Amino acid sequence: MMQRRDLMKMLAGSSLSAIGLGTSSAALAQGAGGTTRLLVGATPGGGTDLVARALAYELAIRLKRNFLVENRPGAAGNLAAGAVAKADTDGSVLLLSYTSHAINAALFPKLPFDPVKDFTPLSLVASSPLMLVARPTLKAANLRELVAQSQAKSGAMPLSIAVAGVGSANHLAGEMLRVETGLDLVSVPYKGAAPAVADVMGSQVDLLFSNMATVQQLVRAGKVKALAVSTAQRLASFPDVAPVAELLPGFDYSSWYGLFGPAGLSPELAAQIAAATKGSLAAPEFQQRLLSEGLTPIGSTPAEFGQFIRQEILRWTKVVAITGAKPA
């Protein structure tokens, strides 16, 4: 029998992947046709895609229906979110989104949807610290050295920082780093994590704020250099990498992944999907998979996730105002 990790590996490179494990459950069967499309507003291979595919497999088991993971990258996740906002309310279309869902409310002056009113929050799935990495040829060994070197070379060429998704937590964390350190940074936008990381490895770009899931193995292999982490405390998995907060007190930014449906899902259906998500996150193999990728499994009720989203929108609105960040 195929092991779960083997199935995950097989699906990782595909933008459209169906996971089928039986017929639909009673609550989801009405009008759903036995299949749920899980839309992801990011390219295959990044942290969001990893979480979506792992979760889809687990939900297929618990809800006894087919799941189709569909990547719709572009516009900082707004393309996928917009499609889900207009979807039927029978559970046949869901959204695995990330921090940008809250950031976009402040970053984009006109959205084709309301990030609160047009969605049913289902569950906060996981969170991830960010890591500031550099091209392997960069002379600085950590952020403190980088800032010191930059200050000593007044008038030198600016540093380039890859933006793996405009409007992401990675993007805004980089903007806050620029504002608070005074580093001369030039943003280089990419359509996903994979090409951004590739250019940092190839020394085409100097820096990148990235989710742990994307870069931690590359750091261990010496293909990129870890300069700092975005958490308030050092990480057990990388105890030698200092937090940005040791240089800039209060600097604490992480990304998160959450499950949404369109507005109008019945409370019963929302509760069913949330319960299945929480059960998935309690599965030892799935939980270990997330932990091994530097992610923290969470699981929440729809009400808890809804409150979290409202708080996140307020928090990131302040960051956008401070940094003057623009969508393009």
Q: Which domains does the chain have, with CATH numbers?
A: 4-128+254-323 (3.40.190.150), 129-246 (3.40.190.10)
Is 77:104 a contact under the CB 8 Å cutoff? yes
Of the listed ranges 36-40, 90-94, 168-172, the least confidently predicted one is 168-172
User: Which residue type is seen at 137?
Assistant: T
Is 78:104 a contact under the CB 8 Å cutoff? yes
Residues 193-212, mean pLDDT to the nearest whole number? 94
Indicate yes or no: pTM above 0.75: yes
Beta bridge partners of 71: 40
Beta bridge partners of 207: 134, 161
pLDDT surpassing 80 at residue 127: yes
* φ and ψ of 281, to 5 deg: -70, -20
Cα pseudo-dihedral 177, 180, 184, 186, rounded to 10: 40
The band of 16, judged by pLDDT with boundaries at 50, 70 and 90, is low
Beta bridge partners of 162: 188, 208
* Residue 246, token pair as written in the block: 């040791």
Residue 317's Cβ-side half-sphere holds a number of Cα atoms within 13 Å equal to 9
C-alpha of 245 from chain center: 21
Residue 279's Cβ-side half-sphere holds a number of Cα atoms within 13 Å equal to 14
The band of 11, judged by pLDDT with boundaries at 50, 70 and 90, is very low
The band of 8, judged by pLDDT with boundaries at 50, 70 and 90, is very low
> DSSP states of 88-121 as a string?
-SSSSEEEEEETHHHHHHHH-SS-SS-TTTTEEE
Q: What angle do CA 231, 235, 241 make, to 5 degrees?
A: 85
Residues 192-204, mean pLDDT to the nearest whole number? 93
User: Which residue type is seen at 2?
Assistant: M
Q: Residues near 259 by Cβ (< 8 Å), separated by ≥ 6?
A: 55, 94, 95, 96, 97, 122, 123, 125, 273, 274, 277
Alpha carbons 250 and 246: distance in angstroms, whole number: 9
| pLDDT tens column, 258-304 | 999 999 999 999 999 999 999 999 999 999 989 888 889 999 999 99
Alpha carbons 317 and 226: distance in angstroms, whole number: 28
Q: Residues near 108 by Cβ (< 8 Å), separated by ≥ 6?
A: 76, 78, 167, 327
Residues 200-224, mean pLDDT to the nearest whole number? 94
Given the DSSP bridges, would you call strands 207-211 and 159-164 parallel, antiparallel or unpaired? parallel
pLDDT of residue 304: 97
> Higher-confidence residue: 256 or 328?
256
Picking from 158, 166, 145, the residue whose alpha carbon sits closest to that of residue 205 is 158
* φ and ψ of 149, to 5 deg: -65, -40
